[in-house]
Structure 1
């Protein structure tokens, strides 16, 4: 088995993709691999993101991948990872991206700890430059975190991974976004409240979390218990170390303002005296060529695969929620098992797991005295029945001003 894998890797390493020769694997994920590649004509290195079409179908992320490609095609800035072209075979999609040699900012902080303030400010200036440029193009990242900020050989940052980004067409009639996404430690409080949010102000919050980690070496909001973490974010009460300079402390406090209306904007950040120290704005690279995208890239068939974990927010009290959830699922023909304050919602045919069976774990978290998160997690079973159950519960019990599913995770 080991020998077969080694032979497969050797074969892939010498593989040629158009004018590119694929090299070693840089990383792996659910979607496939990222490989180092070299332009045979120029010798220039690139990173090739190889997406397995079958995995895209299984994970139901076709729209997410399309969105990432459409987003990157729009963006040409020194602090944003550049997409050069998209190629395709019958079974794979190949995204040819700028190769960033220094790796993730997360790894740098994890190995070396916090950065000196001057160095941290320089990275923050570049982050704000890249983010404000994206916003000027109508693109909102929605998953800004240390892992999605890369560092090149010269110490300059590059924003990457636009899989959760939003474009103008994703806004509702009220001009707000309504899909909760992003990583829990970096997510803005208004996203948790499920009343719609401004993509620009929520991105700025995430930039504030990144700045905090760069300058301190640890997260402003952290807890293993998801409910406690949500409460901390919702209050926005970050403990800013006294040893930071007054300018840095003021910047962090103005960004990590739980009220999105009074939170500092990118325009105001750029006029701040602390921010402007040794600041050299980066110009966009609009003169670069258009991105080539192979028409065969998305010649794939969608499969009916539903998400495994879904959350929605509710204003009902804890006791009301538990009672109403039990009533609704019972009416729908499910039986309920209670254990340690959690529900297991089960539907089985003749007491056995079968094609029409379904098992869903249900848990309720308190964020504030008037706001709760209901989490539904499928253990096994029929996807359509699961989706029907989730839709019914979220529509009946979700926040009235914005009913519907709040967050999905595969």
Structure 2
């Protein structure tokens, strides 16, 4: 791999074909917020490549230059059959060009979306390749942190290729406590410990994401899904997955061990490789850097001008993702993340900055003040009001549960089992008025997007 500095952008030849150094640039394969990918052919070998064209102005505006630098530096290290290969890097005054391996089969996401779940043997083969590639990355000190179906490509032979390392982390991003701390990734695939905002291990969180991918491959749908991000968080934190009956016991057992919400007891990649179901017909790949001479190529910072002070100002906005908003609970009302349900329709949720212990005590006190009988069991409360005048009406029964979102934010969920809706509404109003996040805390001057550690 070589790095070239170009004076200008791609030139157009007389016959109308775009030319970039030794490549003829063809049709567009895909577009994103700051880059587009085009098909490119090497003029000497006729080999096809995927040319990722990155607009410098856009990455300066989005303040994500560090992600581009990270992706290039990471891809330089990785030479594995199941990881997309970076062949060459080019740069002009306005663009950065990554010459990448061309994977003809598209995203695994599109394959599942169009054809549905895969047969177990076929799905296992893809999962074996995924684990092989991710394990190799970890051995190189690279943690992907955004593993999902969209970032897994399939080639013409049906083999997978892991791509998009823009949010990856390496040992230099690990803090003094030995953990990573940036909350990033795609919501449905993110591990519970990443959302908890207390630090996490990159290898363990990647393992969880691999488990979500396996679940989708074998079932055709996500294990955790909800249109409201905080409700989705609840589901992920509990890790309560319903396994379809058609899955073999071996697949179900492995999925349960991977989708364990406790990172300390979750199975490791080494454990997955030793699993009986995983080992069936497994043929591990040989990393290509064991067979080839290692390339020692440094990034030409001057050519890329990624860290150009002229394009960076104190006013540049830092992009954060939705889960980081949850972590900012001391200054933000997150009630908008929750589904809006009429309390007469049985369920209500609101956020609170009180501790879980205080919330349980306050719910108990308010319930008793309003004449309810309160029962406590397994960390949950049941608020009961018996109708002595009309016992046939059954009175009112409300279940209350407190779920931790972050150290300073909790969700209170109230669910009516049966009873008078008007009394239920009175109880919900009293609890939310006394315990919910104050409206004055609802102001924050941030944008929602992706974030990574600053280099």
TM-score for both structures, normalised by structure 1: 0.76
Match of 1:264 among 251, 267, 271: 267
Quote the Cα distance in structure 2 between the aligned partners of 1:58 and 1:106. Answer: 30
1:7-18 alignment, distance < 5 Å: 14-18=17-21
1:122–1:364 CA distance, 2 compared to 1 (3 A)? same
Indicate whether 1:145 and 2:148 are aligned: yes
Alpha-carbon shift at residue 314 of structure 1 (Å): 5.6
Deviation at 1:89, TM superposition (A): 0.5
Report the CA distance shift for 1:227/1:141 in structure 2 as closer, same or farther (over 3 A): same
289, 312, 331: which one aligns with 1:303: 312
Q: Could you tell me how far apart the structure 1 residues matched to 2:169 and 2:266 are?
A: 20
1:36 aligns with 2:39: yes
1:371 alignment partner in structure 2: 405
Decide which of 13, 19, 23 is 2:22's aligned counterpart: 19
Residue 290 of structure 1 pairs with residue 295 of structure 2: yes
Q: Kindly indicate whether the alpha-carbon contact (under 8 Å) linking 1:171 and 1:177 is maintained by their aligned counterparts in 2.
A: yes
Kindly indicate whether residue 248 of structure 2 is the aligned counterpart of residue 239 of structure 1. Answer: no
Distance 1:35 1:10, change over 3 A: farther
> Equivalents in 2 of 1:18, 1:235: separation in Å?
53
The answer to whether the 8 Å contact 2:12/2:18 transfers is no
Asked if 2 retains the 8 angstrom alpha-carbon contact of 1:88 and 1:296, the reply is no
* Kept after mapping to 2: 8 A contact 1:105/1:151: yes
What is the match of residue 233 of structure 2?
Answer: 230
Q: Which runs of 5+ in 1 are unaligned?
A: 1-7, 316-320, 327-337, 344-362, 375-396, 398-404
Distance 1:137 1:272, change over 3 A: same
1:1-400 equivalences in 2 (<5 Å): 14-286=17-289, 287=292, 290=295, 293-300=299-306, 301=308, 302-304=311-313, 305-307=316-318, 309=320, 311-313=324-326, 325=331, 369-372=403-406
Between Structure 1 and Structure 2, whose CA radius of gyration is higher? 2
Aligned-residue offset at 1:242 = 1.5
Aligned-pair CA distance for 1:365: 8.4
Distance 1:195 1:45, change over 3 A: same
Distance 1:246 1:116, change over 3 A: same
Are residues 248 and 31 of structure 1, via their aligned partners in 2, closer, same or farther at CA, if it must alter by over 3 Å?
same
Give unpaired runs (5+ residues) of structure 2.
1-10, 338-349, 354-400, 410-440
For residues 215-247 of structure 1, what are the alpha-carbon distances to aligned partners after superposition, in whole Å with 9 as ceiling and x for unaligned? 000000000011110000000001111110011
TM-superposition CA deviations, 1:151-210 (whole Å, max 9, x none)? 000000000000000010000011100000000000000111111100000000000000
- Separation (CA, whole Å) in 1 of partners of 2:246 and 2:18: 53
Give the superposition deviation at 1:298: 2.1
Aligned residue for 1:76, secondary structure, equals: coil
In the TM superposition, residue 369 of structure 1 has moved relative to its aligned partner by 2.8
Q: Is the 8 A contact 2:80 2:287 kept in 1?
A: yes
Q: Quick check: 2:234–2:403 contact (8 Å CA) kept in 1? A: no
| Gap change, CA 1:365 and 1:83, over 3 Å in 2 | farther
Write the distance in 2 (CA, Å) between the matches of 1:275 and 1:183.
25
**Contact 1:231/1:368, CA 8 A, preserved across alignment:** no
Q: How far did residue 19 of structure 1 move?
A: 1.1
User: Are the aligned partners of 1:188 and 1:233 in contact in 2 as well (CA < 8 Å)?
Assistant: yes
